[in-house]
Amino acid sequence: MSEQFLIPTYARQPVAFVRGEGVWLYDEQGKAYLDAVSGVAVCNLGHCHPAVVQAIREQSERLMHTSNLYRIPVQERLAERLCQLAGMDKVFFGNSGAEANEAAIKLARLHARRRGVEKPVVLVMEGSFHGRTMATLSATANQKVQEGFGPLLEGFRRLPYDDLDAVRAAADDNVVAVLVEPVQGEGGVNAASPGYLQGLRELCDQHGWLLMLDEIQTGNGRTGTYFACQAERIRPDVLTTAKGLGNGFPIGACLVSGAASDLFGPGNHGSTFGGNPLGCAVALAVIDTLQSGVLEQVRDKGETLRARLREALSGLSLVQEVRGQGMMVGIQLDRPCGELVDRAREAGLLINVTAGSVIRLLPPLIMSNAERDQLVDTLSTVLQRYANEQEAP
C-alpha cells in the first residue's frame, strides 16, 4: 500500500501504527513507542481504554446514528452531564474542534445582530489556533496555515496574548466578543497569567461582549481541572471542546450560558453526525472514567513531570524553559528543533514540536510513574546528544 491516492495535506512520518494499549503504540514490526502526543491531546485515557472500547461495542450493537431530526436520549444525558460539569446552560454537538469554534463564531455574529452591530469584530490573540475552516482559519494567528486562502473572513482583530491593557485599548462599538485559549497549544504551550481570564470576564461584562473560551485542547482534564477556566472559577458565555471528549471518537461541543444561551434557534445551525448515539455514549464513558480517579491526579502528575524534566535538562544551555499546566507541557529551546521529532521516534518516543522551537508533550493522563520516568530519560538522552552535536566544532 502507498499514499498515492491521498491528498498530500500532511507531512506524515515514516511509521504506521497497528495497535495501541495505554500509553503505548506498536508499529508494523512490533516496535513499541511511548506516546507523548496522544493523537494531539485526544487519547487522554490512553489507547484502547477498556471503558471506551466497551462503550463503542455496546452502543454500536444497539444504535449508531439516527440524525438530529429526532430526539436522542443518550445525547440528552451527555448534554446534562457536560453542562453540569462546566456550569453552562446548553450545548450543541458537532464532530470536531473546528466545528465547535465555527459555532462559537456564528454565535458572536448573532449576538452582534441582536445588539444592532453591523460590522462586528471578535478580538482574537496572537499565537492562537482555532481551526482550519474559513472562519476559524481567519480567527487563527498563523500566517503559514492561512497562506493561499485569502481573502480571509473579516471581523477579527488580533491582539497580544495575556495582555489585558491591549484588550481595554481595543474596545469600541464594533467589538462583540473575545475568543481566547486558556493555554495556547499550537502557539507553543503558552499559559495565561493568573487573573487574565478573570480580567477578560470583567471586561466582557462591562462592555456586553461574549467571552468565548476555546478549550478544544485544554478541556477534558488535560490541565488538571475538567476545563482549564475552572481553575480561575469563571464562567464563559461560550466554551468549546473536542479532542479528549471522545478519546479518539470524533465529537465536539459548543457550550453556552448567559447572553449566548438563547441565540441559536431551530434552523440556525446543524450537523448531520453531531451528537449521534455512538459518539455520545463514548463521551459519557470518557467522563465517567475521568471522574473515577483520573482527573484528581492530573495536576500533581503534571507538576512532577515538569519538575523531573527541569532537573534532567538543567545542564543543557539550549533549554530555556519548561512550562505548562497539568499534562500539557512545553519545553522552550533557543533554536528551531523540528528534527527532534524524528530523533525521539527512532528512540521509541513520540513527541511534537510546535511554534518552531517548542517541544510539546501531551501524554495520556493515565501515564504511570515508571512510564513518566522513561519519557524523561529518553527525551533527556535525545536532547543531550542533540546538544552535543550542535556545540561540536
Any binding-site annotation on 344?
Answer: no
Return d(Cα 140, Cα 128) in angstroms, integer. 5
Peptide bond into 151 cis (omega under 30): yes
Q: Whole-angstrom Cα distance, residue 206 to residue 124?
A: 18
Angle at 230 between CA 228 and CA 96, to 5 degrees: 45
Residue numbers annotated as active site: 129, 214, 243
Q: Is 217 annotated as a binding residue?
A: yes
Confirm or deny that 9 is annotated as ligand binding: no
> Annotated binding residue at 129?
yes
What does the alpha-carbon distance between residue 181 and residue 197 come to, in Å, rounded to a whole number? 10
**Cα distances (Å, whole numbers) of residue 236 to 76, 200, 227, 323:** 22, 10, 11, 25
Does 271 show up as a binding residue in the annotation? yes
The answer to whether 272 is annotated as binding is: yes
Task: Say if residue 140 carries a ligand binding annotation.
Answer: no
Report the distance separating Cα 102 and Cα 254, nearest Å.
9
Ligand-binding annotation for 98, yes or no, is: yes
Phi and psi dihedrals of 313, rounded to 5? -105, 5
Instruction: Flag whether 132 is marked binding.
Output: yes
Known binding positions: 97-98, 129, 132, 214-217, 271-272
From the annotation, which residues make up the binding site for N(2)-acetyl-L-ornithine?
Answer: 132, 271
Task: Please give the annotated binding residues for pyridoxal 5'-phosphate, written as ranges.
Answer: 97-98, 129, 214-217, 272
